[in-house]
Chain A
């Protein structure tokens, strides 16, 4: 208790300082007076009595000082003093203070905003889902084979049933369909999800309900759907009576049972879903067949929530043991198949996995920006420390303790960084929303709604770094002062920095570092931008201006026979539309999220390794497909109209597949077994990209649409006409065949490619943004240093002018020093960049990490910026009036 009281007294002492000081003075005065009186009573004269009393009492001020120490914490007292003094110093040089605070604020703010944002994408990608720290992606892998495949539904159920460490498992398989409401048809993305999906995620539909347990069971037994908020808004106009309405989806009438909340877009990073159906409807939405009872059909992508306190390792080892048991129970099917849990940010089957390398680079870039900001402020502080050298020396000479000086400088640094930290929080808060404005225009179907919560840990780290840098460099004057010969330093003032004395070496080093870091950033940004444009311009192997459109046969309830006739007729009509060069049909278009077909294959004369189970992805296409998409055939022929139900089964393979299964042989005429049917190879096509431009060449084959018909398909048209014209022509032709059908809005394949590569474009935008910011900060740094150099060496410059140097000479002198620094920095940065950009290798698409264009551009930009930054102070220097300068 007394301790607490003493603490309060001291605290109170801090604030009642003046009153207490007055009381203390009065009390001691009384004491002295009393002593004086006593002395006078003993017979001394008034003056002698007073002198004796004072002598006896001792040094009043010292006693007061000691007494004060008893009352308050001295450090706190001094701290307040330092803060007051620091604030005065900052106000005395407002330009410096503003610049320093601006740099730090930008550094801290953007750092916190971007890192929080990234942290959100990586660790909490789904805004409305609680407990994402316990949510993991679950996916199948094959022993000894790179990459991943899906899980089969029977296996999935076994994992769910036999595990104890998991709270829930959810199935989440992205698929696409066509949604027609009224006379408008649109491609829509759909999630095939387990019945517990919404409950397990903790997402509550705003209207209606999620799925019930029963709705997950029975082959195609429960045509119900939960629609997204956007679908409700855009397609149903916020219809309040939406629950219970029916909607044709893939030819089956579904009842809408719920509307998801506005910010719930599904569990697929960067993509937004239009509706969800329970897993029982799998066959309806997966054109490759009924799979719910087939243990060998691996198609499920899913998530698992661990119970609280369970680690990923524990959960993984439980899954491993279950997988082991399944292998034993079903050796034919499950041999070599395993499952793996991934943290959300490594989710292999959605945008998250694609984004993480780009995000890592963004993070590095932002961190570099922070470092540059710190270097900047350090620079400013150092520059000022020269100005304050005189002050420090004076204070030392007057007897100030070195510790006290250091404390005061630290306080000033702290003050600076604290103001900046506050500013940084404001900037972070503001950036969080503003950042979205800088994002590239999202293509339809993509929603940018990443949680932009400011992460306090991130903010703390960036602030910490800034404070450290500020304080360390704020100490410079004190350290320099301690090396100073007092009398010497008091006599001379700032030396000629233009000539580069040892004092300015540290500052030059900082500018050097800054320029070097900026160079690394600029070069890196250049590489990424170039890679992006190369990737954008690179041909995926087919013509990207081909238009994809079609009719929504599924929603209209077409059965295969009727659909086949319709497709044949429509294709004939489309080919006669003026401006159409060629047209074909395919089950899915390339780069779509719709799955290609996939099946186990056997090849005549190819002996697979014991653990290998050859599988192949393929697509069903119509005649003229290769001509329409501009994919060259290496040998053999296209499918023709005659490759139909009545003719022998045929297939076309790509080069990669030919090289893998028929190395050194001509595959033409050879046989390939897909599932249970043997097909004869009639052609070899050039390998293209199928899903993304970054993928490795993969084996792929094509089968004729007429021998493997699906109702759901897309028309591909090569034409020079506009999309609007195509739409009109398609509507006319489709209505001529069936007036009730809705045409699907046409789009070019490029749009789909852009959609897939959105994550990369986003990251590049971010990197470019921060590269620019780094450049700006570096420019400020250079400007500040040159500016101070000039103001420090006015005497020297004035002398030169007085001795006959012209304005041009002075300009050249100052500029050349700035440029020398810049060039040295660039050289340093060049070396660093050469080492660092190698790490970006996997991110770069057909761009060398040492690309001379990117490096050259970075060099030119930096030198231009340096010229501008140095020109202002140089001009100021050239206009010095020697008479005025030298008199001071």
Chain B
């Protein structure tokens, strides 16, 4: 039913969001900024994918949202990693490194 077209490899956005929240709660724009910054501007998160992903993760119970106040005194929804989310992050990271290792091996074959 979902018709999103992520710029990222499908499914990785969720993992990146979880990773971005690893060291404390952030609001939507903050998460997008953090991913961009961590990837040294290589990855840019489309807002059109961001919010659906956030709601999806919230629905899975991996992140939790609550209203907070931003640096410039704005009411914003802050997302926080839950315990289940932390576990999920570990699982996905593991999975990812195995996949990339596999892909590397395939590509480095002469």
A interface list, Cβ under 8 A from B: 2, 5-6, 9-10, 23-24, 26-28, 30-31, 33-35, 37, 56-59, 62-63, 66-67, 69-71, 74
Residue of B nearest to A60 (CB): B47
Whether A30 contacts B60 by the Cβ 8 Å rule is no
Q: How far is the CB of B54 from chain A (nearest CB, A)?
A: 8
A6-B59, A74-B1 as given contacts; A58 in contact with B52, CB under 8 Å? no
Q: How far is the CB of A11 from chain B (nearest CB, A)?
A: 11
Whether B2 contacts A34 by the Cβ 8 Å rule is no
- Chain B interface residue count, Cβ-Cβ cutoff 8 angstroms: 28
Whether A69 contacts B74 by the Cβ 8 Å rule is no
Whether A57 contacts B47 by the Cβ 8 Å rule is yes
Of B3, B62, B77, the residue contacting A27 (CB under 8 A) is: B77
Q: How far is the CB of A407 from chain B (nearest CB, A)?
A: 14
Whether A27 contacts B76 by the Cβ 8 Å rule is yes
Of A9, A23, A70, A74, the residue contacting B52 (CB under 8 A) is: A70
A2-B61, A30-B75, A35-B29 as given contacts; A56 in contact with B1, CB under 8 Å? no
- A356–B51 CA distance with the chains assembled, in angstroms: 68
A6-B59, A9-B58, A74-B1 as given contacts; A31 in contact with B74, CB under 8 Å? no
- A10–B59 CA distance with the chains assembled, in angstroms: 7
Residues of chain A within 8 A (CB-CB) of B4 are 66
Residue of B nearest to A68 (CB): B55
Whether B72 contacts A58 by the Cβ 8 Å rule is no
A56-B47, A66-B3, A66-B52 as given contacts; A6 in contact with B61, CB under 8 Å? yes
Of B1, B27, B54, the residue contacting A69 (CB under 8 A) is: B1
Scan residues 39-54 of chain B and give those whose CB is less than 8 A from a CB of chain A.
46-48, 51-54
Residues of chain A within 8 A (CB-CB) of B53 are 70
Whether A66 contacts B47 by the Cβ 8 Å rule is no
Whether A67 contacts B51 by the Cβ 8 Å rule is yes
- A617–B55 CA distance with the chains assembled, in angstroms: 89
Q: How far is the CB of A769 from chain B (nearest CB, A)?
A: 52
Q: Can you pick out 12 interface pairs between chain A and chain B where the beta carbons lie within 8 Å of each other?
A: A5-B59, A9-B58, A10-B59, A26-B75, A26-B77, A27-B76, A27-B77, A28-B51, A30-B28, A66-B4, A70-B53, A70-B59
Whether B51 contacts A63 by the Cβ 8 Å rule is yes
Residues of chain A within 8 A (CB-CB) of B27 are 30-31, 34
Q: How far is the CB of B53 from chain A (nearest CB, A)?
A: 8
Q: How far is the CB of B50 from chain A (nearest CB, A)?
A: 9
- Known contacts A5-B61, A6-B61, A27-B77, then 17 further A-B pairs from the complex at CB < 8 Å, ordered by chain A residue: A6-B59, A26-B77, A27-B51, A30-B70, A30-B76, A30-B77, A31-B27, A31-B28, A33-B74, A35-B29, A58-B47, A59-B48, A63-B47, A66-B51, A70-B2, A70-B56, A70-B59
- A416–B54 CA distance with the chains assembled, in angstroms: 40
B84 within 8 A of partner (CB): yes
- A336–B22 CA distance with the chains assembled, in angstroms: 92
Whether A30 contacts B51 by the Cβ 8 Å rule is no
Residues of chain A within 8 A (CB-CB) of B72 are 34, 37
A6-B61, A66-B3, A74-B1 as given contacts; A34 in contact with B74, CB under 8 Å? yes
- A806–B75 CA distance with the chains assembled, in angstroms: 76
* 10 smallest beta-carbon distances between A and B, as pairs: A70-B55, A9-B59, A70-B56, A5-B61, A58-B48, A66-B52, A27-B77, A6-B59, A57-B47, A67-B52
Q: How far is the CB of B7 from chain A (nearest CB, A)?
A: 12
Residues of chain B within 8 A (CB-CB) of A2 are 60-62, 84
- A35–B76 CA distance with the chains assembled, in angstroms: 13
Whether B2 contacts A63 by the Cβ 8 Å rule is no
- A37–B71 CA distance with the chains assembled, in angstroms: 12
Residues of chain A within 8 A (CB-CB) of B59 are 5-6, 9-10, 70-71
Of A9, A31, A67, the residue contacting B29 (CB under 8 A) is: A31
Whether B77 contacts A66 by the Cβ 8 Å rule is no
Residue of A nearest to B56 (CB): A70
Whether B29 contacts A34 by the Cβ 8 Å rule is yes
Residues of chain B within 8 A (CB-CB) of A35 are 29
Residues of chain A within 8 A (CB-CB) of B28 are 27, 30-31
Whether B61 contacts A66 by the Cβ 8 Å rule is no
Whether B60 contacts A66 by the Cβ 8 Å rule is no
> A30, A58, A70: which has the most chain B beta carbons within 10 Å?
A70
Q: How far is the CB of A5 from chain B (nearest CB, A)?
A: 5
> B28, B48, B72: which has the most chain A beta carbons within 10 Å?
B48
A5-B61, A70-B55 as given contacts; A58 in contact with B70, CB under 8 Å? no
Scan residues 65-107 of chain B and give those whose CB is less than 8 A from a CB of chain A.
70, 72, 74-77, 84
Residues of chain A within 8 A (CB-CB) of B1 are 69, 74
Whether A58 contacts B60 by the Cβ 8 Å rule is no
- A680–B75 CA distance with the chains assembled, in angstroms: 119
Whether A69 contacts B47 by the Cβ 8 Å rule is no
> A2, A5, A9, A31: which has the most chain B beta carbons within 10 Å?
A31
- A56–B2 CA distance with the chains assembled, in angstroms: 21
Residue of A nearest to B28 (CB): A31
Residue of B nearest to A4 (CB): B61
Residues of chain B within 8 A (CB-CB) of A63 are 47-48, 51-52
- A71–B77 CA distance with the chains assembled, in angstroms: 16
Residues of chain A within 8 A (CB-CB) of B58 are 9
Q: How far is the CB of A741 from chain B (nearest CB, A)?
A: 91
Whether A69 contacts B70 by the Cβ 8 Å rule is no
Whether A66 contacts B84 by the Cβ 8 Å rule is no
Residue of B nearest to A5 (CB): B61
Q: How far is the CB of B72 from chain A (nearest CB, A)?
A: 7
- A58–B50 CA distance with the chains assembled, in angstroms: 11
Whether B56 contacts A5 by the Cβ 8 Å rule is no
- A120–B33 CA distance with the chains assembled, in angstroms: 73
- A748–B59 CA distance with the chains assembled, in angstroms: 83
Contact indicator per residue, chain B 1-39, by CB within 8 Å of chain A (1) or not (0): 111100000000000000000000001110000000000
Residues of chain A within 8 A (CB-CB) of B3 are 66
Residues of chain B within 8 A (CB-CB) of A9 are 58-59, 61
Whether A6 contacts B48 by the Cβ 8 Å rule is no
Whether A5 contacts B60 by the Cβ 8 Å rule is yes
Of A26, A27, A62, A71, the residue contacting B48 (CB under 8 A) is: A62
Residues of chain B within 8 A (CB-CB) of A58 are 46-48
Q: How far is the CB of A303 from chain B (nearest CB, A)?
A: 61
- A9–B57 CA distance with the chains assembled, in angstroms: 11
Q: How far is the CB of A133 from chain B (nearest CB, A)?
A: 48
- A126–B101 CA distance with the chains assembled, in angstroms: 76
Residues of chain B within 8 A (CB-CB) of A67 are 51-52, 54-55
Residue of A nearest to B44 (CB): A56
- A198–B105 CA distance with the chains assembled, in angstroms: 84
- A9–B3 CA distance with the chains assembled, in angstroms: 21
Residues of chain A within 8 A (CB-CB) of B84 are 2
Residues of chain A within 8 A (CB-CB) of B2 are 66, 69-70
Whether A23 contacts B77 by the Cβ 8 Å rule is yes
- A30–B77 CA distance with the chains assembled, in angstroms: 9
- A37–B29 CA distance with the chains assembled, in angstroms: 12
Q: How far is the CB of B65 from chain A (nearest CB, A)?
A: 8
> A30, A35, A71: which has the most chain B beta carbons within 10 Å?
A30
Residue of B nearest to A58 (CB): B48
- A124–B11 CA distance with the chains assembled, in angstroms: 61
- A472–B73 CA distance with the chains assembled, in angstroms: 58
- A34–B52 CA distance with the chains assembled, in angstroms: 19
- A707–B58 CA distance with the chains assembled, in angstroms: 102
- A247–B62 CA distance with the chains assembled, in angstroms: 85
Q: How far is the CB of B32 from chain A (nearest CB, A)?
A: 9
- A106–B80 CA distance with the chains assembled, in angstroms: 58
- A34–B72 CA distance with the chains assembled, in angstroms: 9
A27-B28, A66-B4, A74-B1 as given contacts; A34 in contact with B51, CB under 8 Å? no
Residue of B nearest to A23 (CB): B77
Q: How far is the CB of B73 from chain A (nearest CB, A)?
A: 11
Residues of chain A within 8 A (CB-CB) of B52 are 63, 66-67, 69-70
Residues of chain A within 8 A (CB-CB) of B70 are 30, 34
Q: How far is the CB of A53 from chain B (nearest CB, A)?
A: 10
Residues of chain A within 8 A (CB-CB) of B62 are 2
Residue of B nearest to A27 (CB): B77
